[in-house]
Structure 1
């Protein structure tokens, strides 16, 4: 019979156990009497006795019990005590050496060891990352801080170096709730960004942990119409400002339509509703009106005002299209207008529309934001409320940064970091997968954090999500990936390795041993799903996958400062909630 008894190679090849036993037994006897002789010499030195020369005569006297003649003048009890001490010390050394060696022997089935030899990660290590940062950022001179060379992805497992994403990388991360999305990614990335930052979230913890520290770098802009932080409104933004082309208006309308919960309705009436909102937005922008006027026009499908305004502004073709929608079949017109009203329901909420209509408060300027080191926090509890405005503001700020990068020769310096936590829920930008193709080359580093691959598919479709996956140069897969499809695909991408298997055969009273190699996955899908919190699988363009330990903010050297700022702002949230 034959059975696999484990992956490690055998200690005694070809069943030569008997020869090894005889060898160890013979030398064991010599070592035993040698230990006694050494113990006697030590005891004799302590008590002034003598010891016979080591040899067969000495061993024979010990065997016969004539210890007085084996070590004259030396107490036998002292010899026994010294021997016991030496034996204990020898055992301690042997055990320590054994564990030292065993701990450093690579396990053939250990994925960390299998992925450790990865030359493709050389460009992510600190020295190469610093060199890359100096090439991408001409403004860097003199000593470079870790936050200047890129975004820290994590430490390579088994005491490896910290790996960095450069300022031309694009990142997508898949992490389940409570698996370190905020503590290991969002907070560290917001704090380490050298330039402007856009950060989205559906909770207050990101703002509480970073706002005070980011205020030292520039102005902090908090967009919180749903009062997640219970802070008062301190500014407003005009989404119609600078809206002068049909393309820009159509893009703004797309952020609203993409939030319609009913996918069937969105697919059926969505394009027409987007065209309708496009016309109404451009009519309002070209005539100096506001979002409040757009909300009123949506309630009166037959009102001719937006058509007249478009014609007066020179958009005759768009005016004709709007007139056709207004004069079409009642059922069709009502379906289009109802879908548009559903998409623009944020404009029905006074607490939300006050953020995008004129007031005495300071106005947010995307162009000035892209040129500084300010921080923009965009908070919303769900996509049914302020999500379209969050997507629109994020998109507007990124496009302003792109234009500034073009004026600077093609790349923004210092770079902009865009941390999109809960992107699939509160920051749905329709062409984000396409933007991934060129944002990195403009010095804009997007970090899209999703709970699963399927969550991205629901927003951008199979083709769009595949495009984002392919365009992202750094992919981080953390704990809690419960998608069987993604786990299987990742197991394939990680690859396979050869594992030695020892087989023992018994026949005719004799045993024989054979070592064979078996090809198996380095990381099985179940192992990817069971990644512990604080660890992640990193897929970097041009290199093999790697296992990394994430870097939570509470283990950084600034942990005390972050915690103090967090506690202070959390008290403000509690006070605001109590009012």
Structure 2
């Protein structure tokens, strides 16, 4: 019978029934007799008796001593055990084969043959790593560990082969974007493994403590320094350093870029805010005035509260930025309603500067060491920079600014080191749309990979990216990402439909039955249908993801969470110790509040 979708015809109503009855009539007696002979043979061996040879003589002697010296009861017991064992064996084999035979419309089988992803397998990816990294020249690619090969995307699912499949890797010149709903494995299968497997420096953003808890201790044990930016006390760890966003800011372009990180946090879903660009120009002028005069962000916050203060204008004139000074003077001398609207928008964008806990991380104090992006990217020991914030309304603009500054420092270092960073810099941007909005990230994607900077942007949905970068920007990010992962919980109908189109169609055999004159005839036809329909894409089980790789057809992967890997025990221990440190830190923080302590 052909494997096809549709109802199967009953054997009683097809012409094949007669043939099967003839076969059964011919072979069933012989098979049953052989089973009885085997049972008698086994019983004879146990009892020390004998049994006649298998054949017609044994069949004729069944009723009058075919197994002399062997108790008939023992033969019957062995026969029952043998029949039960053969039945169980046949049933087990049948179930094993049936479970591994793909359905005619099985998407795993349709996507399994994919020559375009051969370059992602270990051997090819290892060869690419040796080619891209100067420090690996002359190394046998087959001797490279998984962390040197690239970032593990997942394991290719094969039809009828549950469990581990072929591991696929992103190379050190790839750029990644992932769409994964909460609780679908974005931290356990992407962020944590990527931070731990990175051979060089790492930037990791998150709105929770789990990523830091699982990886910080192990990264520090590997020899690198851990830098934790946690102004909202998510981990309850003491502040150990500070960073000056105004350091090295000497051009209008740099100041305008820094101001853009602040303005991008202002809610404006329709991109119709007339005050946004003007507020960015205002912040640009104030940042430049503070940076060129040795002042800090505290002075910027104070200037925002006094729309008519002439100090920043004088400082810009003194530093030689006369055009910026003239622009700022024009803003201050404009119509009161216009000026107030611009300043209020700027104050909203820079509201994190009103929080003393946040401000202490970006202004000097308490003799804490200053973080240097240039030293971080050029250091011989790979450091790890954790940037934590609970929401967009808090320290998000500073996280975006620090991430952007480190990436630009890494790019500058790459240009002075032959064009590529070695080892590469991994930038894992979890919750990128909420706490790390970089306005030109889609444009950066087009060249970061060629500099040895591997960005991994993790979003909850395609629409979440549209709210940050708009339709053209999100389309540019999608197009520039060489590796795209779509995990479980894709609730966007638009994305699901587009993915169904990109995945393509296949021919599925379909069975139809015709009943006439007491007989059933069967016809098999081919039906063209989507390999994965939008509803099936939305219903992808947790732990799986679709991979869209440049130059290859889509593939269905099984993700590789940290708790299924070889370092699960050490990571679990690290989490336990970090949670204990968080608990102790929270208790110390509570003790500082009298009403809580009581």
Superposed pair shares fold, TM > 0.5: yes
Residues of 1 paired with 2:270 and 2:488: CA distance? 33
Residues of 2 paired with 1:165 and 1:500: CA distance? 36
Match of 1:568 in 2: 577
Contact persistence 2:196–2:215 (CA under 8 A):
yes
1:93 aligns with 2:89: yes
Question: Is the alpha carbon distance of 1:15 and 1:286 closer, same or farther for their aligned partners in structure 2, counting shifts above 3 Å?
Answer: farther
Match of 1:236 in 2: 242
Contact persistence 2:132–2:172 (CA under 8 A):
yes
Residues of 2 paired with 1:327 and 1:355: CA distance? 34
What is the TM-score of this pair, normalised by structure 2? 0.91
Question: Is the alpha carbon distance of 1:227 and 1:47 closer, same or farther for their aligned partners in structure 2, counting shifts above 3 Å?
Answer: closer
Match of 2:593 in 1: none
SS at match of 2:426: strand
Residues of 1 paired with 2:49 and 2:314: CA distance? 120
Match of 2:19 in 1: 19
SS at match of 1:232: coil
Contact persistence 1:9–1:501 (CA under 8 A):
no
Deviations 1:460-495 (A, max 9, x none): 001111111111111111111111111111122122
Match of 2:205 in 1: 200
1:301 aligns with 2:300: no
Contact persistence 1:499–1:520 (CA under 8 A):
yes
Match of 2:596 in 1: none
Match of 1:356 in 2: 362
Match of 1:326 in 2: 332
Residues of 2 paired with 1:7 and 1:135: CA distance? 51
Deviations 1:149-193 (A, max 9, x none): 111111222431211111111111111112222111111111111
Question: Is the alpha carbon distance of 1:264 and 1:498 closer, same or farther for their aligned partners in structure 2, counting shifts above 3 Å?
Answer: closer
Q: Out of 4-13 and 107-116, give the one that drifted further.
A: 4-13
Question: Is the alpha carbon distance of 1:9 and 1:264 closer, same or farther for their aligned partners in structure 2, counting shifts above 3 Å?
Answer: closer
Contact persistence 2:213–2:574 (CA under 8 A):
yes
Q: Out of 118-127 and 256-265, give the one that drifted further.
A: 256-265
Residues of 1 paired with 2:329 and 2:17: CA distance? 95
SS at match of 1:356: coil
Question: Is the alpha carbon distance of 1:41 and 1:153 closer, same or farther for their aligned partners in structure 2, counting shifts above 3 Å?
Answer: closer
Match of 1:176 in 2: 181
SS at match of 1:434: helix
Structure 2: runs of 5+ lacking an equivalent: 589-598
Match of 1:493 in 2: 502
Residues of 1 paired with 2:564 and 2:546: CA distance? 20
Match of 1:6 in 2: 5
- Root-mean-square deviation (Å): 2.3
Question: Is the alpha carbon distance of 1:118 and 1:337 closer, same or farther for their aligned partners in structure 2, counting shifts above 3 Å?
Answer: same
Structure 1: runs of 5+ lacking an equivalent: none
Q: 2:190 aligns with which of 167, 172, 185?
A: 185
Match of 2:98 in 1: 102
Q: 1:371 aligns with which of 367, 373, 378?
A: 378
What is the TM-score of this pair, normalised by structure 1? 0.93
Q: Out of 405-414 and 480-489, give the one that drifted further.
A: 480-489
Following superposition, the deviation at residue 74 of structure 1 comes to: 5.4
Q: Out of 453-462 and 300-309, give the one that drifted further.
A: 300-309
Match of 1:289 in 2: 295
Match of 2:280 in 1: 274
Contact persistence 2:205–2:428 (CA under 8 A):
yes
Q: Out of 392-401 and 184-193, give the one that drifted further.
A: 184-193
Residues of 2 paired with 1:506 and 1:5: CA distance? 18
